[in-house]
Structure 1
Amino acid sequence: MSTPPVASLPQFPVQPPVPGYGPPPMTMPGRVKAMRIVLFILGGFNTAGGALILLGAVLVSAYGDSADRHSAPLLYAVAAAALLMATATITLGIWCAHGGNRTRIGVIVVGALLAANYLLGLFNGQGLSGPGLAAATYLIATAVGADAKAWFNRPGR
Structure 2
Amino acid sequence: MSTPPQPNTPPFAPVTAHPQSDQVMPGSVKTARVLLFIIGGFQTLAAMMLLFAGLAAQSGSVDTADLEGTAALELILIGAVTLVQAAVAVGLAARFRSGRGGVRIGAIVIGGLIAANGLINLFTGGGLSVPGIALGGLIGVNCRRRNAIAYFNRPRDLRPHFS
TM-score (norm 1): 0.84
Asked if 1 retains the 8 angstrom alpha-carbon contact of 2:28 and 2:143, the reply is: no
Count of residues in correspondence between the two structures:
146
What CA distance in whole angstroms lies between the structure 2 residues aligned with 1:67 and 1:31? 44
- Whether 1:116 and 2:116 are equivalent positions in the alignment is yes
As a proportion of its length, which structure holds more helix?
Answer: 1
Asked if 2 retains the 8 angstrom alpha-carbon contact of 1:99 and 1:153, the reply is: no
- 1:15 is displaced (CA, Å) by 2.3
Partner of 1:100: 100
Gaps of 5+ in 2: 1-6, 158-163
Cα distance, 1:43–1:14 mapped onto 2, change above 3 Å: same
Match of 1:39 among 32, 36, 41: 36
Gaps of 5+ in 1: 1-12
- Whether 1:145 and 2:139 are equivalent positions in the alignment is no
- CA RMSD, 1 decimal: 2.3
Partner SS, residue 24 of structure 2: coil
**CA deviation profile, 1:29-63 (whole Å, cap 9, x unmatched):** 11111111000000001000000000110111122
Which one-letter code corresponds to 1:41 in the other structure?
A: I
Partner SS, residue 68 of structure 2: helix
Match of 2:50 among 41, 50, 53: 53
What CA distance in whole angstroms lies between the structure 1 residues aligned with 2:119 and 2:76? 22
Aligned pairs for 1:74-85 within 5 A: 74-85=74-85
Partner of 2:86: 86
Partner of 2:18: 22
Cα distance, 1:20–1:28 mapped onto 2, change above 3 Å: closer
Cα distance, 1:37–1:60 mapped onto 2, change above 3 Å: same
What CA distance in whole angstroms lies between the structure 2 residues aligned with 1:88 and 1:22? 30
Which one-letter code corresponds to 2:18 in the other structure?
A: G
What CA distance in whole angstroms lies between the structure 2 residues aligned with 1:58 and 1:88? 24
TM-score (norm 2): 0.81
Identity of aligned residues (%): 34
- 1:99 is displaced (CA, Å) by 2.4
Higher Cα radius of gyration: 1
Cα distance, 1:65–1:131 mapped onto 2, change above 3 Å: closer
